[in-house]
Amino acid sequence: MAIRALFWDVGGVLLTNAWDHNERAEALEHFQVDAKEFQKRHETIVAGFERGKVTLDEYLDQTVFYQARTFTREEFREYMFSLSKPLPEVLSFAKALGASGKYFMGTINNESRELNQSRIEKFGLREIFRVFVSSCYVGLQKPQTEIYKLALDLTQFRAEECCFIDDRAANLGGAASVGMNTVQMQNFEQFQSDLKKLGVDA
């Protein structure tokens, strides 16, 4: 059956990750924040943060600004947001696929609300995607099967008509379990080749 809908992860596929391990480590080193204490606090609140139950300010209150700092909240926030960069080849390819009119384009991604919204706006993702099934909006996270089922319900495509693209095998497993086709992003050439095998091309 032909692919009619493409659902994309964002961090690690279209853009760099927003606030994953490497980004957190870079920020903590830059601001000289104790990594062990931060990680302990991060783990207690990150699920709510990514599901949209905890605001960025509430997250920072718990993980960074529970004590006086030599830097401001705004400085830390700006640094967090500055870590997001585009992955140009993939982003351009996604734009071409969207512009072709052949495919419904959506995202399924785990991300906190403020970072997700900033990235949508900064990198022009609204021009490419028609729906954002983001954890912060729907209160579900990959690889829970419910988030993939919700994407199917919202768009009314059959699972076999859809392909989900992610860089992490566990997330692909969740999509495959509901019947979606999947492609793992390892490098751009491999990614394009695997999509072509499914008949997907601009």
pLDDT, residue 202, reads: 87
Same domain for 65 and 93, yes or no, is: no
CATH number at residue 165: 3.40.50.1000
pLDDT of residue 178: 98
% of the chain surpassing 90 pLDDT: 99
Range of the domain at 37: 21-82
Q: Respond yes or no on whether the N-terminal peptide bond of residue 143 is cis (omega within 30° of 0).
A: yes
Model confidence pLDDT, tens digit, residues 149-196:
999 999 999 999 999 999 999 999 999 999 999 999 999 999 999 999
Tens-digit pLDDT profile for residues 46-88:
999 999 999 999 999 999 999 999 999 999 999 999 999 999 9
> Based on the domain organization, do 69 and 136 belong to the same domain?
no
- Distance (Å, whole) CA 176 – CA 199: 18
**Per-residue pLDDT, 1:** 81
Q: pLDDT tens-digit profile of 84-119?
A: 999 999 999 999 999 999 999 999 999 999 999 999
In this predicted structure, the answer to whether residue 35 has a pLDDT above a threshold of 90 is yes
Q: What is the CATH number of the domain that holds 26?
A: 1.10.150.240
Q: Are strands 162-166 and 181-184 parallel, antiparallel or unpaired?
A: parallel
Strand intervals (E) in the chain: 5-8, 104-109, 131-134, 162-166, 181-184
On whether both 63 and 91 belong to a single domain, the answer is: no
Distance from chain centroid for Cα 172: 13
141 within a domain of the structure (yes/no) = yes
187 with 139, same domain?
yes
**167 has which bridge partners?**
none
Please check whether residues 71 and 114 belong to one and the same domain: no
Contact 186, 167 (CB under 8 A): yes
Q: Which of 29, 63, 82 corresponds to the end of one domain?
A: 82
* Vertex 122: Cα angle to 117 and 125 (nearest 5): 75
Could you tell me if 146 and 184 lie in one domain? yes
* Beta-bridge partners for 131: 106
pTM: 0.96
| Residues 105, 128 contacting (CB under 8 angstroms) | yes
pLDDT digits (tens, 9 = 90+) for 131-155: 999 999 999 999 999 999 999 999 9
Same-domain check for residues 58 and 126: no
Mean of all residue pLDDT scores within the chain: 98
Domain count, the chain: 2
Domain annotation covers residue 202: no
